[in-house]
């Protein structure tokens, strides 16, 4: 006949757990009070718009992209790198920045592309027999 094993885990000790909780996070019902509806803070319609609502996500970006934004954020007076990344995405989403059509009509851009293409072309070696 098998013997019944007992749970060897440490039993719940209320005082020990409470000692690890910071004072501001302890549950204190005696300190609570009901706030009447007319006294509650209601968010403005502006605050509820999607462009003013932050959502936590997890995404992978290339290391060089992350390093680029982090180095810009390290400059004095600049926004945090997450804000800069969000602003870059918003600019793209809103169609801001240079479009393909704008680049194709930019004479200086065309000159620079032509110079780059010309520098990449290698002369063919002639074969004499």
pLDDT, position 13: 47
Nearest to 90 by CA among 48, 123, 41, 54: 54
pLDDT tens digits, one per residue of 46-69:
888 888 888 889 999 999 999 999
3-state class of 32 per DSSP? coil
pLDDT value, residue 122? 66
The whole-chain average pLDDT of the chain stands at 79
pLDDT number for residue 15: 55
Q: Mind listing the pLDDT tens digit for each residue in 66-89?
A: 999 999 999 999 999 999 999 999
DSSP letter at 95?
T
């Amino acid at each position: 006949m098998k013997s019944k094993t007992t749970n060897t885990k440490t039993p719940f000790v209320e005082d020990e757990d409470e000692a690890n909780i910071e004072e501001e996070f302890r549950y204190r019902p005696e300190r609570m009070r009901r706030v009447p509806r007319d006294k509650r803070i209601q968010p403005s319609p502006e605050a509820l718009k999607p462009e003013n609502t932050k959502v936590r996500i997890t995404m992978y970006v290339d290391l060089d992209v992350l390093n680029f934004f982090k180095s810009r954020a390290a400059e004095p007076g600049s926004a945090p790198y997450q804000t800069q990344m969000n602003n870059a995405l918003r600019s793209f989403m809103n169609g801001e920045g240079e479009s393909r059509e704008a680049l194709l009509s930019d004479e200086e851009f065309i000159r620079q592309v032509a110079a780059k293409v010309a520098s990449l072309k290698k002369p063919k070696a002639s074969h004499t027999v």
